[in-house]
Amino acid sequence: MAEIRLDKLRKDFGTVVAVNDITLTFPEGTVTCLLGPSGCGKTTLMRMIGGLDTPTSGDIYFDSDRVTDLTPSERNIGMVFQYPVVYRGMSAYRNIELPLLEDKSISRTERKARVESVIDTLDLGRSANTDVSKLDNGTRQKVAVARAVARQPRIILFDEPITNVDIASKVQLKRVLKRLVKQHNQTIIYVTHDQTEAMTLADEIALMRDGVIVQRGAPREVYDQPNDRFGGWFLGNPGMNFIEYRVRRDDGNALLTEPLFNKPTRVDGLNGHTEVVLGIRPEHVHVYPTPTQDTVEAKVVRSALVVGGQHLLTLQIGDLTLKAKVQPEDGYDKATTVYVACPIDYVFVFERESGQRLAASVTG
Residues that bind Mg ion (CB under 5 A): 42-43
Least distance to ligand ATP, CB of residue 224, Å: 24
d(CA 285, CA 323): 8
Which residues 6+ apart lie within 8 Å of 54 measured at CB?
Answer: 48
Strand order in the sheet with 286-288: 286-288, 337-341, 296-305, 311-317, 320-326
Q: What is the largest CA-CA distance in the chain?
A: 80
DSSP H or E run through 316 = strand 311-317
Q: Is residue 40 at the binding interface for ligand ATP, with CB under 6 A as the rule?
A: yes
Judged by CB under 6 A, how many residues of this single chain contact ligand ATP?
A: 12
DSSP β-bridge partners for residue 357: 350
Q: Which does 16 bind (CB under 5 to 8 A by kind): ligand ATP, Mg ion, none?
A: ligand ATP
CA–CA–CA angle 17, 56, 73 (5° rounding): 120
Nearer to ligand ATP, 211 or 279 (CB): 211
Residue range at the interface with ligand ATP (CB under 6 A); choices 37-45, 66-74, 92-100, 108-116: 37-45
Residue range at the interface with ligand ATP (CB under 6 A); choices 39-47, 99-107, 228-236, 282-290: 39-47
CA–CA–CA angle 217, 221, 222 (5° rounding): 65
Q: Is residue 15 at the binding interface for ligand ATP, with CB under 6 A as the rule?
A: no
Touching ligand ATP, residues 169-198 (CB under 6 A): 193
Q: Is residue 41 at the binding interface for ligand ATP, with CB under 6 A as the rule?
A: yes
Yes or no: say if 37 and 195 are a contact pair by the CB < 8 Å rule: no
Q: Which residue of 39, 72, 238, 343 would you call a contact of ligand ATP, by CB under 6 A?
A: 39
Q: Which residue of 2, 4, 9, 18 would you call a contact of ligand ATP, by CB under 6 A?
A: 18
Q: Which residues bind ligand ATP (CB under 6 A)?
A: 13, 16, 18, 36, 38-44, 193
